[in-house]
Chains A and B, each alone.
Chain A
Amino acid sequence: MVNVTAETGSQQEKTINMSPFAIARRKFLRNKLAMISTFFLFAIIIVSFLAPYITTQDIAKVNIGSMSLEPGGEHFLGTDKSGRDVFTRLLYGGRVSLLVGISCTALVILFGTLIGSMAGYYGGIVDSVLMRFTDFILNFPFLVFVIVLNTILFGLVSGLWVLIGVISLLYWGGVARIVRSKILAEKENEYILAAVSIGCKPSKVIIKHLLPNVLSTIIVQATILFASLLVIESALGFLGIGVPQTIPSWGNMLSSSQEADVLRNKPWIWMPPAIILTVTILAINFIGEGLKDAFNPKSNR
């Protein structure tokens, strides 16, 4: 991977004798905002996934004796209307929200890259058919169809994976288009012609030669996707049609703010998930900006 990129790199980069990825890494490590965001994001992920070891409270137990308690004392962030500890639910909720976000991002990138690279590499009929299909998917109003599909599949498959499957199935169109256009430009290079002429199979040309060269675009796309998928998960949860209500997620916790009483008088129930979600999304956006900047050969910071 490094060899290929170094060969195609510009004259200036050769003189410094660093691969584009090494340059990008150095730029990224020097970007303070992006580095702080990265640490923050990893901290959130680790704390959320270690939730069972950090807190011993039972998330499902309804405790009538301690309903809607204000923050402080035994309950660090108070309790919700069913007497469940908000802090505990925040940790467990983060686990679910981040899991949905990460799995959807992975699946969307997988579908999009697969379709996009095939369409871009083969061209001709394969390209037309795959891109017509992509247009078809992109023409659906996304949120409307997620809601409808989610309602249909709700009882059939166990909760969380329905949502992940439905979102991934409907969201890959944009990635496919971007990957296709990048592959189209990249495959005109002579090293691809060389690889084909020595008898490389198409799958090998795509995976070994083309994809590494569009990887930077895919990585940047993945961070943007991660942020928007977190928003989608929580928006659906907020509307009460995302992750099943029995599983806490940041979106589900926020849905309690639809009750005027909770929204007006008990901000400790809905504010923590709202704030943590916003800060997480901001952090992911900063990382995305940092990556975009790092991969851009024109910027020199």
Chain B
Amino acid sequence: MLKYTIRRLIGMIPMLLLISIVVFLLAKAMPGDSLSGEIDPTNTDPQYIEQMRERLGYNDPLPVQYFNWAKDFVQGDFGTSTRYKMPVSELIAQRLPNTIFLGVSSLVITYILAFGMGIFAGRRPYTIGDHIIGGLNYLGLAIPSFIAAVFAIYFFSFNLGWIPYSGSVDIQIEKGTLDYWISRLHHVLMPAIVLGALSTASYTQFLRNDIIENSRKDFVRTARAKGTPTSKIYNVHILRNSIIPLITFLGFDIATIISGAIITETIFTYPGIGQLFLNSVGNQDYPTMMAITMLLSLLTLVGNLVADILYGVVDPRIRLD
């Protein structure tokens, strides 16, 4: 197991290198000069611009430029944002906690909803309750998340006024108090539900089918024969077996949340990484854009790796070597 993990981790390195080359070339191909923001915009003297280009290394051959960028990047120097005039690493450090908070809340909501509905439907297959949950799942899978978000804002924020429609916290509240955290939770609730709807539907579907399948197995018949109460059979014997395969979904969730966060954060104007990324593309803030693209690619790689490794942990029959 350890050997496989290490081999996969080493295998990630060439993939990361390739992705970094692609990201670098893409940033070079972007319209406009990729770091032009570092030059004083009021000074249009061609000689000054040429000097600055020379000093910032824009006249070096591409491989040298790539090498310099990669060297700085590995050391944690992501360059300076041309829009916010501050180091990109600080900018990301400001926004990242918000996105992680959103992602974790969305996962927690997903698990709570999916377990509740999946266990309920799995215990009573082909009843009205099961069909209603099935129908809800269908909607969850089919309705695009941004449409769900727009309707949610329209009904819950504007018409009913239950939920704030923008920001991550009420700025008037003092930081660190209980109210502050309640306000944060209040703000994150709607985006998190919208972000988690898709995974909730697939988790519920999977859990329901797995519980139904397991309930027909021999060990359940044995448990029934020796007089174990039905609720204990479902909550202990079957659930334990059905949860295991679910663990492997976690890795894929990371990738889903990354793509979802870009859209969800933009709609709810939630100040996270996804919103920062879209703004940086719109404002031609290339250092920020490159750093976030690399970060998200790295997270996707790690997510896929986690999924593959968990597969092996959960099901020893899958041979890894």
Separation of A258 and B26 alpha carbons in the complex (Å) = 29
**Taking the nearest CB of chain A, how far is it from the CB of B95, in angstroms?**
15
Within 8 A of A (CB), among B149-200: 150-151, 153-154, 158, 165
Chain B residue with the shortest CB-CB distance to A146:
B259
**Taking the nearest CB of chain B, how far is it from the CB of A272, in angstroms?**
12
Residues of A within 8 A of B292 (CB): 144
**In contact, B19 and A148 (Cβ under 8 angstroms):** no
**In contact, B143 and A281 (Cβ under 8 angstroms):** yes
Chain B residue with the shortest CB-CB distance to A281:
B142
- Size category of the A interface is 35 or more
Q: Which of B144, B255, B299 contacts A277 (CB 8 A)?
A: B144
**In contact, A282 and B142 (Cβ under 8 angstroms):** yes
Within 8 A of A (CB), among B265-321: 266-267, 277-278, 281, 289, 292-293, 296-297, 299-301, 304
Main secondary structure of the interface of B (DSSP, over half): helix
**Taking the nearest CB of chain B, how far is it from the CB of A223, in angstroms?**
12
Q: Which of A141, A152, A227, A285 contacts B258 (CB 8 A)?
A: A141
Within 8 A of B (CB), among A75-100: none
**In contact, B281 and A148 (Cβ under 8 angstroms):** yes
Q: Which of B31, B147, B165, B266 contacts A151 (CB 8 A)?
A: B31
Residues of A within 8 A of B299 (CB): 141
Main secondary structure of the interface of A (DSSP, over half): helix
**In contact, B144 and A147 (Cβ under 8 angstroms):** no
Contacts known (A148-B293, A241-B281); A139 close to B304, Cβ less than 8 A: yes
* Chain B binder among A117-125, A202-210, A263-271: A263-271
Task: Please encode chain B, from 30 to 70, with 1 for each CB lying within 8 Å of some chain A CB and 0 for all others.
Answer: 11000000000000000000000000000000000000000
Contacts known (A141-B258, A147-B278, A155-B31); A239 close to B266, Cβ less than 8 A: yes
**In contact, A239 and B263 (Cβ under 8 angstroms):** yes
Within 8 A of B (CB), among A7-65: none
**In contact, A141 and B142 (Cβ under 8 angstroms):** no
Q: Which of A144, A147, A155, A257 contacts B150 (CB 8 A)?
A: A257
In the complex, whether A129 has a CB less than 8 A from a CB of chain B is no
**In contact, B26 and A149 (Cβ under 8 angstroms):** yes
**In contact, A278 and B147 (Cβ under 8 angstroms):** yes
Q: Measuring CB to CB, which residues of chain B are less than 8 angstroms from any residue of chain A?
A: 15, 18-19, 22, 26, 29-31, 138-139, 141-144, 146-147, 150-151, 153-154, 158, 165, 255, 258-259, 262-263, 266-267, 277-278, 281, 289, 292-293, 296-297, 299-301, 304
Q: Measuring CB to CB, which residues of chain A are less than 8 angstroms from any residue of chain B?
A: 135-136, 138-145, 147-149, 151-152, 154-155, 227, 231, 234-235, 238-239, 241, 254, 257-258, 260, 263-264, 267, 270, 274, 277-278, 281-282, 285
